[in-house]
Amino acid sequence: MGNGLIAAMSAMLILSGCASYSKKDCEQINWNNRAHELALDGLTKDDALSRVYGQCTRPYNVTPDFEAFSKGFEKGANEFCAPENALEFGKNGKIYKKTCPKELESEFIKNYTTGLNIYLTQRVDDLSSDYDDLKNEIQQLKEDNEKLKNK
């Protein structure tokens, strides 16, 4: 598969992760549910509001129901901050943005750190293996080049 095709596919995957809303979607959205989803992604409330602004307010002048948004976000943030979620969040290598309420944060950080250490250890192992593979490939290419020179 060519590098251009890989880059194009990667860009499509990244862009597909960004929800694109129509004016009708924005007018009919359940703000409680949308805020809940954004909180479960680990966003801060400011980041979540900024995303909503970019998706609905700026393009379509649709104002969110801030009360419903706040309630949904609070519920989602409390679920996000559960210790078992913290472990998975860390194991996926995601960045924690200090979104948890103070009473949940210390336990979250403990589990997040454990998960992040697992992720980083695996990442180092993967990169080390890639390095070894590349080193062997370079050595093989040098040997092949030497053989060609000696013909």
Domain ranges of the chain: 20-80
What pTM was computed for the model? 0.70
pLDDT per residue rounded down to tens, the chain (151 residues): 455 545 444 444 333 334 578 999 999 999 999 999 999 999 999 999 999 999 999 999 999 999 999 999 999 999 999 999 999 999 999 999 999 989 999 999 999 999 999 999 999 999 999 999 999 999 999 999 998 998 7
Give residue 42's region: left, alpha or beta (phi > 0; psi -120 to 50).
left
